[in-house]
Amino acid sequence: MRGPHNIIRLVRTLATFERTGAINLLLEALDAPPRLRFVARVLGWPFKWLGLKGDPALPPATRALTALGPAYIKFGQILSTRPDVVGDDLALQLQYLQDKLPPFPLSVAKEMVAAELGVPVDQVFSTFSEPVAAASIAQVHRARMLDTGADVAVKVLRPGIERAFRKDIDAFYFAAGIIEFLSPASRRLRPMEVVKHFDGVVQGELDLRLESAAAGEFAANTEKDEGFQVPKPVWHLSGRTVLTMDWAEGVNMADNAAIDAAGVDRNVLASRVLQLFLQHALRDGYFHADMHQGNLKVAANGNIIAYDFGIMGRLDEYTRRVYAEILYGFIRRDYRRVAEVHFEAGYVPADRDIDEFARALRVVGEPIFGMDANRISMARLLAYLFEVTERFGMETRTELILLQRTMVVVEGVARSLNPQINIWQDARPVVESYIKDNIGPKALLRDLQKTAMVLARFGPKLPRLVETQLARQNRPMGEPVNKAALHPLIWIALGAVIALSGVVLGQTL
């Protein structure tokens, strides 16, 4: 379905922005260059009649994005957390997209719940409210369980949402293909891979069984995190289109007035949001990847409540170490080490000059550190870093896309709570703690132990492997030894030694 018919959808996108009056607002907010503004107006204005009308009661940008569909709404949700990028007025308009979209009827929701659970709603819940929140993919109802009397949140997918998202994603794939065809230089950024990555993320969000599993795992990981709580899923009342979770009472993270009225220190809250995200990403390698204000609440005791676990990020241990070292290098202003990490990880081609790369990184970092606290921005750092790595031939790392995007969103949330927050100052203790525990002699011993334990599992097979390799060495007298064939024997012997040492290491750690 990714054929040329998607041209119509892309033209309609520009036409919708033109018709709703949002195109100038967005181009100015994003500080688009004159050439891009000209192209957008030329492609949008003649086809204005093709644009979707949307809800005239909504502000222009919100009106355009809601009319275009769920993928565009997701884009608007991200922008709503970045007033420093799009301006306070536009960010305030876009906050509507987080959980205030038009709901679908209560009767339809009850029908979907009954169909998913296999029993009528009134046989499971004693009460089932009108929607309390409606977002791009699903809406939430407050209900009370008939058997226990406990209050729960019941999340129900929007009818037909899978088809609607499929149309948007197909158009994105088509656009990425056109970009790669017309601009060979863009292939380094792998736009098709980027769209494929987010396609997979979205497909996971459309199956609420996966969200139930994500909520359970995230709750287990963060159970001991001070000032943070995750509602747990009610497994027997959840399925592909319905998710039931414990009810969490709190005020929306975007409502600064309500937070102040509750007596919660927003400065402390801002630091906690940032530090908790980094802890989850570095310590657990599993983090909430959709942490905008619409998915966060503040409890009466000041705890942060997270929900909506449709988009989660996962990082393997090696990538976490690389990311931490890059952050730590910038924090310490050790640009040579940042450059070395890029080369060691294979992010930058080995034939490039590491000293030149380190100098370029200094150009990225120093202006950031010279700014006032309220102007220090992770988003700005990532933008500068992108320019430098592009010049040195670094390809887009799809495994880091979600992490980088979420880091930008989390910074936006923190800055909305405390505009004066110093991102580096709050990030430093988390990153330093991770570095201390995971990079150095202690980490080396743990790595050796893990390696030894893996090799030890092959212990019963070692005699047979040795015999097999020795049999292959049977040769006529005087024939030279096949040194290449002895390599497996060397590795087997080394493995046995490491396996034995692993026992000792296991006792000393």
The three-state secondary structure class of 254 is coil
Lookup: tokens for 240? 């592909």
Gap between the terminal Cα atoms of the chain:
56
Q: What is the DSSP letter of 159?
A: T
Q: Where are the alpha helices (DSSP H) in 240-334?
A: 256-261, 266-279, 317-332
Rg (CA), the chain: 27
Please, are residues 149 and 127 in contact by the beta-carbon 8 Å criterion?
A: no
Amino acid at site 403: L
How many Å apart are CA 326 and CA 344, to the nearest integer? Answer: 11
**Gap between the Cα atoms of 195 and 174, Å rounded:** 10
Between CA 51 and CA 265 the distance in angstroms is 45
Nearest to 206 by CA among 152, 169, 245, 249: 169
147 is catalytic: no
Q: Which of 225, 290, 308, 426 is catalytic?
A: 290
List 344's β-bridge partners, or say none. none
Measured on CA atoms in the order 24, 29, 34, 40, is the torsion positive or negative? negative
Q: Six-digit token pair at 341?
A: 């990490």
| C-alpha separations of 207 from 135, 155, 238, 241, 385 in Å | 15, 12, 11, 7, 35
Q: In the chain, how many H helices and how many E strands?
A: 23, 10
Mind telling me the catalytic residues?
A: 290
